[in-house]
Amino acid sequence: MIRIGLIGFGTVGSGVYERLLQTKDQIKQLLKKDIEISAILVKDKQKRRAEKVDAFVTTSWEEFCGIAKFDVIFEAIGGIEPAFSYTAKWLEKGVPVISANKKLVAEKGEILEQLATAHSTYYGYEAAVAGGIPIINSLKGTLTTTPITRVSGILNGTTNYMLTEMIENHRCFTEVLLEAQELGYAEADPTDDIEGFDAWYKIRILSRLCFGKWSPVTSFYRKGVSSIEDWHVEVGERLGFKVKLVAEAWRGESGVKGRVTPAFLSPIEPLANVRGVTNGISLEGESIDQLLFLGPGAGKEATANSMVEDFIFHERSTSAWRNTKEEKWDMEESFTHAFVFINHSERNKALEWVKQAGIAVIDTYAHHEGEGWIVPSNHSSPFEMYPIYGDISTRKREKTIHSAQFGAF
């Protein structure tokens, strides 16, 4: 008998409970053991939701800990505490923990993995990144020895839904944010989504899986979509580019680096076609060229399914971590051009900048709120620069600005 403890009974926790019941017979066939959900730890406000479940339900941590000798814990609450203390306690007892808590994994994953190793158990967090996409266990299982030079992706369904609506239906940022909240894609406080924290946690986790170690948080730059104005999206679209919140990490000569930033993708870039709340992840390497994973990035069923499959994966296999050998890759940047957006009041300042720096502006589009310029990315700028991924020659052609117009040589 496998005795299961479930911490949390919100959207994800209730989904895990339902999924375990639905797959009970399949799990028995795979693991040769019956499963039993022995106890569920809930918050007061979740207690009514759990009234009809076939398990012991409590709001007391002490009572939960004493009810059974658990064989596995599913942690389905958010934030750092008390999730960290709860997880650490069970790992120290040698009990495996399965989590969907991306913030906890990103901030405390190294410590929790060390605890799991020290006590001969495992810490699984497949569901913490990209919901229903089995990316983490692919990296720990079938791609264990595959060299990866870069990982990139669209990792936040909320912002991708918003940007898709802005591009395809020409809607404004404020309107689609309100709709995303009404649909349940965005929280009442959407800061983690629109300021890039959600994707930032996830790319740090993916970096650990791809490059074999946890890198310092200072190695990862973060910028959310709140800086993107409606007219920026329109200008990008006029030139044939789609704006996305892109997260990426790569191993450069000075170590692992990463970033989360709004970026403009050419139409032939695979991630450009990831629409709505869907997530997409790209892995690049010499032996694989490029692998693309697409699927639901969140949702009750997808996340719960990932947690249960994570449990099965670890019970049936001995996963291996990538080695931490410091290979050198000349992969400092993945783009050569960028957009700058200039308000009309800033135009003279922008002209002086390109003149002094000798920058040849590649293309421009005039909008009634300002101008969008495509420039080489290898210059420092007094303006915010947004990466352009893909071949800029595939853009829709507008009037080209010649360097002489700006006094640049």
Is the pLDDT at 185 greater than 90? The verdict is no
The pLDDT mean for the chain works out to: 90
The pair of three-digit structure tokens given for residue 52, joined into one six-digit string: 């009809």
Would residue 47 show up in a list of annotated catalytic residues for this protein?
A: no
What is the mean pLDDT of the segment spanning 312-336? Answer: 68
Sorted by sequence, the CB contacts under 8 Å of residue 16 that are 6+ apart come out as 6, 74, 76, 304, 307, 308
β-pair partners for 246? 261
- Third-level CATH fold of 136-294: Dihydrodipicolinate Reductase; domain 2 (3.30.360)
Answer whether residue 390 shows pLDDT above 80.
Answer: yes
Cα torsion angle, 387, 392, 395, 400, sign: positive
- Which tens digit of pLDDT belongs to each residue from 70-114? 999 999 998 999 999 999 999 999 999 999 999 999 999 999 999
User: Cis omega before residue 190 (within 30°)?
Assistant: no
Instruction: Please name the helix (run of DSSP H) or strand (run of DSSP E) that holds residue 89, with its range, or none.
Output: helix 83-92
CATH number of 2-132: 3.40.50.720
Distance of alpha carbon 361 from alpha carbon 347, whole angstroms = 13
Average pLDDT over residues 205-223: 95
Other Cβ atoms less than 10 A from the Cβ of 89: the count is 16
What pLDDT shows up at residue 331? 55
**Residue, of 260 and 253, whose pLDDT is higher:** 260
Does residue 333 or residue 299 have the better pLDDT?
299
Domain limits, the chain: 2-132, 136-294, 337-406
- Which SS3 state, helix, strand or coil, does residue 135 take? helix
pLDDT score of 50 more than 90: no
Span 324-328, average pLDDT: 53
Residues contacting residue 7 through CB under 8 Å, at least 6 positions apart: 13, 40, 41, 64, 73, 74, 75, 76, 77, 83, 86
Query: Which string of DSSP letters, residue by residue, matches 140-206?
Result: HTTTTT---SEEEEE--HHHHHHHHHHHHS---HHHHHHHHHHTTSS-SS-HHHHTSHHHHHHHHHH
Average pLDDT over residues 382-390: 94
Note whether 2-132 and 136-294 share their fold.
Answer: no
- Residue 44 has a pLDDT of 78
Which residue out of 102, 108, 140, 202 is catalytically annotated?
Answer: 202
The torsion angle over the Cα atoms of residues 100, 101, 104 and 106, rounded to 10 degrees, is: 70
The pLDDT score that the predictor gives to residue 283 is 96
- CA 95 remoteness from chain centre: 27
Whether residue 210 is predicted with pLDDT greater than 50 in this model: the reply is yes
Q: What are phi and psi of 376, to 5 degrees?
A: -60, 145
Identify the CA nearest to 280 among candidates 164, 152, 138, 100. Answer: 152
